[in-house]
Each structure stands twice: as C-alpha cells, then as structure tokens.
Amino acid sequence: MAVRTDMEPRLLRAFVAVAEELHFTRAAARLYIAQQALSRDVRRLERELGAELFVRTTRQVTLTADGERLLPLARRVLTAQDELLAAFGPARPLLVDLNFPGPATGRRVLHRARELAPDCELMARYESGLTGAAAELLAGRLDASFGRFAGLDPALRSGLAQQPVRYEPMAVVLPEDHPLAARAEVPLAALAGETVYAGAGNPSTPEWTDLACRLFAGRGIRSAPPLPPAVGDEEFERIMAKNRHPVLAVVDFPAMPRTVRRPLVDPVPLSPVSLVWRKGLMHPGLDALRRAAAEIAEAEGWLRRPGGSWIPEADATVMTVRR
C-alpha cells in the first residue's frame, strides 16, 4: 500500500507514545485521551502504512521490525513540526497556572518572565493544585504550572517535564486566638495531638495531602477528614472558625482574615516546587519562564536546603534533576 502524503501528525504522536511506554494505558494517560481512541489511531496508522507496528499480547506490547524502523523517523517528523510551529506559528498566549493568587513562588517567576520576554503574552490561571493542573497541561488547556512533581501519579508524570525551582518552607495557618498563634514559629512537636487540615477531599491537590501525611507520620499529628474545597476568603474563614483546625500551608500563603501564618520548625519541612510543562512544548514564553525560574532560584538560594530540614526521599531525588 502506498503511504498517504496527508498523514495526520496525531497518528504519529500516538505511535511514538505507545512505542516509548510499551503500554497502551500509560500512553493514553500521557496523551490524555481514551485508550480506545489511542488504539484506533494506532490501527489507522498501521492501515495507512500497510505495516504492523506492534506485537500485542495480554502481557506486553513490543515493537515489530517495522515499528523499530518507524520510531526514529516519526520522532524527526514531530520534532520538525514542533520547530516549524514554534518558528512561524501564531504567537498564542502561554497559559501559566499559579495555583492561587498571592505573592507566591509562581507569581514571582511569572513576573520576571514577563520582563525577560516582553513581546510574549503570559497569562495567569489559578487551578489550585498540580494534580488538577496536570490534566489540563496534558490536554493542552494549560501550558505550565508549579508544584510537587514527585506527588503526581506516574501516568501523569510520563507526559510532563519539570525543572526544580524551590524548596519552599512550610507553615501553619491558625485561628488568631489559637494557643499556638502567640508563637513566632511553631515547632512540629507542638502540633502533636492537633488535627491539621491539608487539603483532604480536594481532587486537585492529592500531591499536597500526601506530602502532609508523610510529614505527620510518627509525630502524633492527625490529618483532618476530607472536606469540599473552601472557595474564597469568606468561606475559608467560616470553615476555620467552625472547625478550628490549623491548616498546613507554605510561608508565602496569602494572608486570610482572622488568621495568622506561622513558619514550622524543628525540623523545617520543605515543600518542593517545580516548574512543570507538557513534554514537547516549544514556546518562547516557556523559555522565559525557565530562565526566570533559574535566575531567581540562584539569586534567592531557593534550591539550597537548610541544614536539618525535612523532605521525603522521593522528592529530594526529583529536585536534584535538571531538565
């Protein structure tokens, strides 16, 4: 069969994802499409090429000889297409998720990136959690976000790239009349016996809740039960006044009415922050974000861990990777 000259790049992207994952479910998650749609695209590509590209069994997926031959060619075609679009395509805005409004890590990086690339339009979004943002990144509805990369499901991570940005010290938000509110710093041991809310029940932030569970383990700190996410200052204040649970946060968490924010110490727990984007994304705004993140991290010492600090081993490994 003759190869069609109008072959859709989407079919090649489907093939490359399966060839790299050797697993249809993981490849579908990486492309954020249904597995049935991915299988359809691969079968269509095989029909158009007149070649079987994979050997599929109930236990594994392997490339055929034709699949092995196609893989480097397909990668070159897709790279060329991405470069062409980056060089001559429309200069669309780059959509950057900052998690929440306020003077946090992501906002500082975004402001510096705008200075570095004044001709690019970098638009802020607020998805309030890296897991929620990751699905939007893979679907192409967001371009970049910030958060704990090691806390993402591996199927999500496989389609994303990351650049370590900051070890952000963690804090606790307390009702202003809480017994611990009078302290300038709150030792972790002082939270023993407390029930602390850390996003349980929020489907956008399981990576944060997991980090909290790791921090609380063995310290006598209980995790507050799941709640629907509180939206807005007034609702946050009402829920805190009702439950009186301290809330796990970071030192740059925005100020809330009738609360105080206190850094945690002994040890200082760190929230690992990475800049995260979709693999293969090429955009001058992303280049500016990466330069801005590296510049500020160097100037502020964001990637230098304080002595005696705490971070899960998996996160420490991720944060040493430079991509």
Which tens digit of pLDDT belongs to each residue from 53-110?
A: 999 988 899 999 999 999 999 999 988 877 776 666 556 799 999 876 655 899 999 9
Q: What is the CATH number of the domain that holds 71?
A: 1.10.10.10
State which of 63, 88, 113 marks the end of a domain. 88
- Mark whether 261 and 173 lie in a shared domain: yes
1 in any annotated domain: no
- Does the structure show a pLDDT above 90 at 295? yes
- Mark whether 138 and 22 lie in a shared domain: no
2 in any annotated domain: no
- Mark whether 190 and 261 lie in a shared domain: yes
What confidence score (pLDDT) does residue 319 get? 92
- Mark whether 231 and 181 lie in a shared domain: yes
State which of 265, 290, 307 marks the end of a domain. 265
pLDDT level of residue 129 (50, 70, 90 thresholds): confident
- Mark whether 278 and 140 lie in a shared domain: yes
- Mark whether 101 and 163 lie in a shared domain: yes
- Mark whether 60 and 179 lie in a shared domain: no
CB 104 within 8 A of CB 250: yes
State which of 88, 108, 127 marks the end of a domain. 88
- Mark whether 289 and 314 lie in a shared domain: yes
What confidence score (pLDDT) does residue 34 get? 76
- Does the structure show a pLDDT above 50 at 280? yes
- Mark whether 146 and 280 lie in a shared domain: yes
- Mark whether 209 and 260 lie in a shared domain: yes
pLDDT in tens, 164-178: 999 999 999 998 889
Range of the domain at 55: 9-88
- Mark whether 285 and 156 lie in a shared domain: yes
22 in any annotated domain: yes
pLDDT in tens, 179-213: 999 999 999 999 999 999 988 778 889 999 999 99
Statement: the pTM of the whole predicted model exceeds 0.85: no
57 in any annotated domain: yes
pLDDT in tens, 208-255: 999 999 999 999 999 988 876 666 566 666 776 677 789 999 998 877
Number of domains within the chain:
3
pLDDT level of residue 30 (50, 70, 90 thresholds): confident
- Does the structure show a pLDDT above 60 at 2? no
